[in-house]
Each structure stands twice: as structure tokens, then as C-alpha cells.
Amino acid sequence: MKTMKIALLGCGTVGGGVARIFGEINPELNARANVSLVLDSIVEINPPAAIERFQLPASLFCGGGRLLQPDEASRYIDDLLASPEIDLVVETIGGTSDFVFDLCHRVIEAGKHLVTANKALLAERGRTLFDLAENKGVKIGFEAAVCGAIPIVKTIKENFTGDKILSISGIMNGTSNYILSRMQNESLEFGAALQLAQDNGYAEADPSLDINGGDAGHKLILLIKLAWGIDVSMDDLSIIGIENIGKEDIDFANEINAKIKLICYAKKINGDIYATVRPMMVKNNNFLSQVNGATNAVRVNNHYSGIHFLVGKGAGSGETAMSIVSDIVFIARYGERMKNTAAPQERIFADARQFVFPYLITFHTADVPGTTGFIATAIGNQNINIETVSHNRHTGEKAMFSVATMPSTFEKIEAAVEAIQRERPGLLLSEPKIMPILY
């Protein structure tokens, strides 16, 4: 049986999970790959912590399991990349620094396969790596970079190759979903729900990328590349986070039989690709509205086979490590016939402001008679049909209400708001919140 030797760079939460899986089910992995898979070496600054946490043999670690200085770790990495014995490298260091990018570049340049969960690196700087891998004839496995244990990358790359993907939508960040679920189910304010997420290990001390939509945006960029073969940057993608969601927004969602979710949405329309990440009012008859806690869910709508849902845990040591190990097995078995991404396509990445949705617009105004009628008229003047208007909430000299529209472009909604501000300066006490309604 052919042998494939693997080097693991980093042995923290994810890397340690990979090593543990190899230690526990290596014979089964060999049978599935039809290759003898050997975890040959691990480079880790703090091996004693990893050895204790994951019950790993010290002999796996470069340096025999002792603490390493950074320059020592770098020398061991250099040796592994230069070794003709190493066939595949797993990167679990993380981040988008020049050091990590250069490291991944060197892995590929050395003619070795790369497996990583580093969604931010691949979304922001991946084009160079994918192009180099194509030239070098090696593979990049990144199933773990998108929604942890959910096999969405292989599903799009392999299972849907006989179909045309029309749209992809879903909940792709567990932290934001946990926060919104607690706000919805327990009437919590955003700050209290965020603190619970941190206390329970679902949010980092700095949760910025989770709550501002950046993490979800990285994942959507990778899925767009897989589904339609186009490269999108974070600057191209329209992203709004959940930081400004309040209890009143939850109440307005309940009024229209919906729940607020941070949704990744991409759709192909006549060759143009529209995409956005933002909070949406997801109607209760849409399955995504029922996905709570830190769970991820992806909805794929295909031309021939219809709608598919993939649901599961989007993070965690075992979950993410499992996806990395699956990529290793897949590369070992099918590597010569695998494609890293879809073939590049000449498609237009369209302006998200032209994306058509029904919208819920929440207005915070001075409590002046005739305000609701004036605002409804301003919306109608942009040829936007109104479906419902909520009850007014009055607090002293202030009022708050929402307007649900029929399908419209975001550009028209913006124009209506600009007209209101121009014709009645000072009437709006804050910028209206504008959220798509997802049926």
C-alpha cells in the first residue's frame, strides 16, 4: 500500500483534534484512503500542553515534546518543507499574517498538498495560492474553512456537478446565531446575549469578526468561488453585522411572523452574481428561521434538483478536525483527479443595491401627527408597494414603527429615506434600519 506522510503545523484546538483522530482511527482512515496515512511530525511551540490535552505521544513532536523557541520551530518547519518524505502539510496556525501566507505559499511551492481551516486567508489572499497550486499540480483542502463539520465544500464541488446552482443562502456563523437566538427566545438585549455567548465559549474575548459579519463574509466568498468560479473580495461584498440589533427589532420580527438571522445570500441572475451578508427577517415558514443556537445551516437551490439543506455544527475541535482529516483522506484517494475550485468564469459581480428583496424598514421618529402617512407616501413615490405597517410604539415625544414592503431594490429604499430626510429635516431621529425579508 502506498504511504502518504503528513506534517501538522500547530497543535491547538483544531490541530490537536486532527492528531487525536489519527491516533484513534488511523487503520480505518487507511482503509478509506486506500493509502497508508502517517502523521509523521508536529511542529508546536508548546507541546506539553497539547500532549496533556489531547493525550498525544511526545515522539510525534519536533523537539521530542519540549517547549520550542520560535526560531527553533521555524527551523523544523524549514526541514519538513525541504523533506521529500513529507507529502501533505496541515496548517492550523490561523490568521492572515504575511508569515502564515508565506508559509502556505512555501508548502505549495515545495510541491506538497495543503489542508487548512483558514477561511480568512483563503478568502482574502487565496487567489495566489489556488493559482500556484494549479501550476504545481497539488491540492488545497479547505472543507474545514466553511461551516466546520458541514460538508458544503465537497457537496458543491462533487455532488452538484450535474446541476446548476441558482442560489446559496444560510446561517454561517454560529456565534451570531447563538446571540440572536438568545435575544429572540429570552428577550435579552444584545449586550447580555453576547456576554452569554462569551461565558459559554461561543464567542471570543474580541468577537468582532463574528458580530460584524466578517467571518460569515469569508465563508460566502469561498462558496461563491466554488459555485460560480468568480473571485470576490471583502471590499466587493456588502456586509452588515448584528451589533445594532435591539429588542425592538425582535418585536417587529414577531409581528410579521419572522425571526432575525445573520444570513449569507448569493444568487445568480442572468449571469450576474448578487451577494450580501446581513441580518434578515426570515419568515417562520423558512427552515432557516428554526435553526437556533450555535448551529450552522446552508440552503442551496439548484436548477434541476431543487432545494437542499445542510445543517450541523460550524465550529469546535472535533468538528473542524474531522473535516480536515476528511480532506486528507480525499486527497490521498482522489488527489490526481481533484479540482481545487471551479474553473474561472467571466461573470459580473453585481451591485447589491440592485438586489431585489421585500424589506422591513424601522423608523425612529419624532411623535408628530401624520408622520406614518407622510413616510408611507414617500415610499410609494419610489414605486414601492407597501405590504403592512406596524403599530406605533410611543415613548414620550418619540415614536417607532416599521413598514414591510413588497419586493424592491435597496437603491429605491435608500431613495425613499433620502426624500424623507430632505423634505422633513429632523423628523427621523436615527438612520432607519433596513432588513431584507426572506421567505
Give the contacts of 161 (CB within 8 A, at least 6 positions apart).
none
Identify the pLDDT of residue 338.
81
Distance (Å, whole) CA 198 – CA 210: 12
Distance (Å, whole) CA 354 – CA 275: 10
Backbone phi, then psi, for 357, in 5-degree steps? Answer: -140, 155
The CATH class of the 152-313 domain is alpha beta
Instruction: Map residue 230 onto helix, strand or coil.
Output: coil
Helix orientation angle between 13-33 and 47-54, rounded to the nearest 10 degrees: 60
Identify the pLDDT of residue 1.
85
Distance (Å, whole) CA 70 – CA 74: 6
- DSSP conformation letters of 69-135: -HHHHHHHHHHHHH-TT--EEEE-S-S--HHHHHHHHHHHHTT-EEEE--HHHHHHHHHHHHHHHHH
* Cβ atoms 352, 410 nearer than 8 A: yes
- Alpha-carbon separation of residue 31 from 19, 326, 360 (angstroms): 18, 13, 53
Give the contacts of 100 (CB within 8 A, at least 6 positions apart).
91, 93, 94, 118, 121
Identify the pLDDT of residue 316.
87
Instruction: Map residue 383 onto helix, strand or coil.
Output: coil
Distance (Å, whole) CA 134 – CA 237: 26
Kindly list the strands in the beta sheet with 88-91, ordered across the sheet, starting from the edge strand earlier in the chain. 36-43, 3-9, 88-91, 113-116, 140-141
- Alpha-carbon separation of residue 274 from 118, 269, 346 (angstroms): 24, 8, 14
- DSSP conformation letters of 322-381: HHHHHHHHHHHHHGGG--SSPPP---EE--GGG-EE-EEEEEEEE--TTHHHHHHHHHHT
Block residue for cell numbers 425579508: 437
Degrees, nearest 5: CA angle 378-381-384: 95
Mean pLDDT per 10-residue section of the chain, whose length is 439 residues? 96 96 97 97 97 96 96 96 98 96 98 97 96 95 95 95 96 97 96 94 91 98 95 94 96 96 96 96 97 96 97 91 97 86 80 95 94 96 96 88 97 97 95 97
Task: Report, as residue numbers or ranges, the catalytic residues.
Answer: 219
Extents of the domains making up the chain:
3-148+319-337, 152-313, 353-438
- 3-148+319-337: CATH superfamily: NAD(P)-binding Rossmann-like Domain (3.40.50.720)
* Cβ atoms 334, 139 nearer than 8 A: no
Backbone phi, then psi, for 237, in 5-degree steps? Answer: -80, 135
- pTM here is 0.94
Q: Which three cell numbers stand for residue 32?
A: 478509506
* Cβ atoms 179, 227 nearer than 8 A: no
Fold of domain 353-438: Alpha-Beta Plaits (3.30.70)
Compute the half-sphere exposure of residue 438: CA atoms within 13 Å on the CB side of its CA: 26
Distance (Å, whole) CA 379 – CA 53: 59
* Cβ atoms 355, 410 nearer than 8 A: yes
Identify the pLDDT of residue 224.
96
Identify the pLDDT of residue 342.
72
Which amino acid belongs to residue 25? I
Distance (Å, whole) CA 156 – CA 385: 37
User: Would you call 20 exposed, middle or buried from its count of C-beta atoms within 10 A (0-12, 13-18, 19+)?
Assistant: buried
